[in-house]
Amino acid sequence: MSKIYLIPGLGADTRVYNNIDLNGYEVICVDWIEPHKTDTLATYAQKLIYHYNIVPKSIVIGNSLGGMIAIEIAKRIPIEKVILISSIKIIDEAPRYFSLLRMIPFYKPIPGKVFNSMGYLIKPFFGQMNEADTWLFKDMLKNTSPAFLKWAMDAVLKWDNKVIPPNVTIVTGDKDLVFSYKKIKGATVVKGGTHIMVFEKAKEINKILKRILTK
């Protein structure tokens, strides 16, 4: 049976998959490793391949930033299935504000540790969360390496991928305020799904994943 590698999003860890049911599969949770300041998403993906021994015919599931890295992994080794959740496949699907932030990178002088305490600013983009879920997401952000946060923001904005590797499936929500479903071609769209639907709409996501994995 193929191994499933779970890659979280920016400012998160694999607890974002807490409500996802992959019973019957060998699941490997990918924790972030420290990047070098010169790393791109492509070179970082290669480091993850080595670090976690991601082998051909594996299955990779990536949420948000994790989806972009999953694409880069699949460009380097033949992956059985690449499943993106609340993410994008190519730069053409990125929101317009990516271009603006590339031209005016106001975030660069901000120390990485400042981003760890900015959960109150990010929360509106994630949709409605109860008190327990809000605590979890703030805790994930707080415990993410400041150096990684700073690097990842820059690496994401510099990502210019135009290649869609084989066996890619993308699932997105129509209420996602980070990546608009209207720009993403060929996606399975979840009604009412926000950028954290992998967590808050897990029941529906589990049904979709089951269909994809059993094809």
pLDDT single digits (tens) 146-171: 888 889 888 999 999 999 999 999 99
Q: Per-residue pLDDT for 107 more than 70? A: no
Q: How far apart are CA 182 and CA 187, in angstroms?
A: 10
Distances (CA, A) of 51 to 32, 48, 55, 99, 153: 10, 5, 11, 32, 22
Q: How many other β-carbons are positioned within 10 Å of the β-carbon of residue 174?
A: 15
Backbone phi and psi for residue 157, each to the nearest 5 degrees, phi listed first? -70, -25
Q: How far apart are CA 140 and CA 138, in angstroms?
A: 5
* Residue bearing the bigger pLDDT, 119 or 1: 1
Q: How far apart are CA 31 and CA 29, in angstroms?
A: 6
CATH 3.40.50.970, applies to 3-213: no
Q: What is the residue type of 54?
A: I
Q: How far apart are CA 210 and CA 65, in angstroms?
A: 22
Q: Per-residue pLDDT for 123 more than 70? A: no
Q: Residues of the chain with pLDDT > 70: what percent? A: 84
The C-alpha R_g of the chain, in whole angstroms, comes to 16
- Position 121 scores a pLDDT of 43
Backbone phi and psi for residue 31, each to the nearest 5 degrees, phi listed first? -90, 150
Backbone phi and psi for residue 77, each to the nearest 5 degrees, phi listed first? -135, 150
| DSSP, residue by residue, 29-54 | E----PPPTT--HHHHHHHHHHHTT-
25-30: long-range contacts at Cβ-Cβ below 8 A with a sequence spacing of 24 or more?
A: 25/1, 25/59, 25/213, 26/1, 26/2, 27/3, 28/3, 28/4, 28/52, 30/5, 30/6, 30/66
| Contacts of 34 by beta carbon, 8 Å cutoff, 6+ apart | 145, 147, 148
How do residues 67-88 score in pLDDT, each as one tens digit?
Answer: 999 999 999 999 999 999 999 9
- Predicted TM-score (pTM) of the model is 0.89
Distances (CA, A) of 28 to 58, 82, 133: 11, 15, 23
The pLDDT-based confidence of 109 (bands split at 50, 70, 90) is low
Query: Encoding tokens for residue 188?
Result: 């399975």
For the chain, the structural domain boundaries read 3-213
